[in-house]
Amino acid sequence: MGEARDGVQVKRVVFVTVGTTCFDALVKVADSQEVKDELYRRGYTDLLIQMGRGSYLPTKSTGDDGSLAVDYFTFSSSIADHLRSASLVISHAGSGSIFETLQLGKPLIVVVNEDLMDNHQSELAEELAERKHLYCARPLTLHQTIASMDLNCLVPYSPGDATPVAKLINRFLGFPEES
Amino acid sequence: MEKNTSCFFSNSSPNLVITCFVAFITIILVRFLYVIYRTGKPLNKRTPQQTLSTLIVLGSGHTAEMINLLLVLQKDRFTPRFYIAAATDNMSLQKARVFENSLADSGVKGISAEFMQIYRSREVGQSYVTSVWTTLVATAHALWLMIKIRPQVVLCNGPGTCIPLCVIAFIFKVVGIRWSSIFYVESIARVKRLSLSGLLLYKLQIADQFFVQWPQLQRKYPRAHYVGCLM
């Protein structure tokens, strides 16, 4: 619960992002009473939705009546700031969003868009979920995932490294090895 | 006498044409086989070069991975750099510009980069009928850009825009316009299946080196190099 410290409530923000896509199913379900209640029960205070190119508009709320404060916007020049100030991120399955969030060390639930034609995105989400770096859900199962998730079980993601590629490229081209 | 001469001439002229044609085809075929043979083999070390002009093909969503790779490549070896992205993709070139500016800001000398847009063969959802024409336009545009750039190194990681460019690079090798080394890095988002661009370049053996970021793909496509995650 948002603990009072000298009367100041600690904000725990859930940030929902769909990137540059249109993913009304996620925005809708994030704005649903079921999910909002679940998030409130798990101790979150604010819900901020980045809705991208979608057409569904969430309902804003100040949260004064003992519920989640809800706000939304379409795009931002710096998602990174919103990610940094979030306690939980719920994202579409775009690799950019996923890795930006993982590199900031934020707990992440990835929601796969089932309306996409060639859904290779789900491969990445499922692989990372198998390695326990994030939770993977579908729009209809999001509230269950929130209810049952244990963020302490998540394994931190170690940043990748492009130097193996560079080494192979340099060797192929005949450039001398770096000392 | 004159009649005989003209008869002789008119008889041998088509033979001459045919002979030239056959010779031409044979040369092209030999060159083609030579390029196939040399594809994937490291460059001749006896003639190392100081700098290689580099074409970097960008695509929405995977630009961050390419930037990650460029960060660990020695900039003074891979210069001048040419960035190409699809005309309808606004963010990729912008990210590349930011990257090059940050190089200049951090004091790296001799920055030489150009940014270009290329017509897309086909937009998402475009009808296949109109796609025939737009693909021809895109290929002609790719040819124009490649003639201008004639890169020695081609780096790409997935977008469809790289196919006409890589095919033209391959043709340049066959015809002798420019020898290039083509490197393809399949995106980190591809865990079990290759993208269409990746599949084409892998099957046609156009890429000199083909990199994948997940072990499942390396098992499925043994000629690929598994290099782990770039992000």
Report yes or no on A10 lying in a domain: yes
By C-alpha distance, the chain A residue nearest B46 is A174
DSSP structural state of residue A13: E
Answer yes or no: are the C-beta atoms of A36 and A4 closer than 8 Å. no
Q: What DSSP state is assigned to residue B108?
A: -
Name the residue of chain B whose CA is nearest to A172's CA. Answer: B42
Tokens of A37: 């209640």
Q: Could you state, in order of their start, the residue ranges of all structural domains in chain B?
A: 52-226
Structure tokens at B163: 């196919």
* pLDDT of the residue at B110: 65
How many alpha carbons fall within 13 Å on the CB side of residue B156? 29
Domain housing A169: 4-173
Tokens of B126: 């475009």
| H/E segment holding residue A127 | helix A121-130
CB-CB under 8 Å, B188 with A172? no
pLDDT at B7: 53
Neighboring chain A residues of B52 at a CB cutoff of 8 Å? 173
DSSP H helical ranges for B127-204: 128-149, 162-175, 196-203
Residues A103-137 pLDDT 10s: 999 999 999 998 886 778 899 999 999 999 999 99
Give the H or E element holding residue A110: strand A108-111
Residue A32 sits in a domain whose CATH number is 3.40.50.2000
Distance set, CA A61 to CA A64, A91, A96, B16, B30 (Å): 8, 21, 29, 85, 72
Average pLDDT taken over every residue of chain A: 90
B230 min Cα distance to partner chain A (Å): 5
Question: How confident is the model over A4-30, as a mean pLDDT?
Answer: 85
- Mean pLDDT, residues B148-159 taken together: 93
Q: Inter-chain contact A165–B193, Cβ cutoff 8 Å?
A: no
Q: Which residue has the tokens 């993977």?
A: A136
Q: From residue B198, give the alpha-carbon distance in Å to each of B184, B186, B207.
A: 8, 6, 9
Residue of chain B with shortest Cα separation from A101: B231
Compare CB distances from B69 to A120, A127, A166 and report the shortest one's residue.
Answer: A166
**A116 in a structural domain:** yes
pLDDT at residue B183 is higher than 70: yes
> What pLDDT sits at residue A4?
47
**Is A95 in contact with B231 (Cβ distance < 8 A)?**
yes
State whether ipTM is beyond 0.95: no
**Domain contains A36:** yes
Q: What is the pLDDT of residue B207?
A: 95
What pLDDT is recorded for position A164?
95
Name the domain count of chain A: 1
Pair A169, B73: CB distance under 8 Å: yes
Is there a domain that residue A11 lies in?
yes
Q: Do the domain assignments include residue A138?
A: yes
Average pLDDT for B84-103: 88
CB contact under 8 A, B42 and A172: yes
**3-state class (DSSP) for residue B224:** coil
Strands B181-185 and B153-156: parallel
Q: What are the tens digits of pLDDT across the range B20-33? A: 999 999 999 999 99
Q: Which two tokens stand for residue B151?
A: 């890169």
* Identity of the residue in B61, B72, B214 whose CB atom sits nearest the CB atom of A95: B61
Residue A179 belongs to some domain of the structure: no
Tell me the β-bridge partners of A72.
A49
- Residue in chain B lying closest to A123 (CA): B191
In this structure, the strands spanning B153-156 and B113-118 are unpaired
CATH architecture under which domain B52-226 falls: 3-Layer(aba) Sandwich (3.40)
Looking at beta carbons, which residues of chain B come within 8 Å of A176?
48
Tell me, yes or no, whether A35 lies in a domain. yes
pLDDT in tens, B99-144: 999 988 887 776 789 999 998 877 767 787 887 888 888 889 999 9
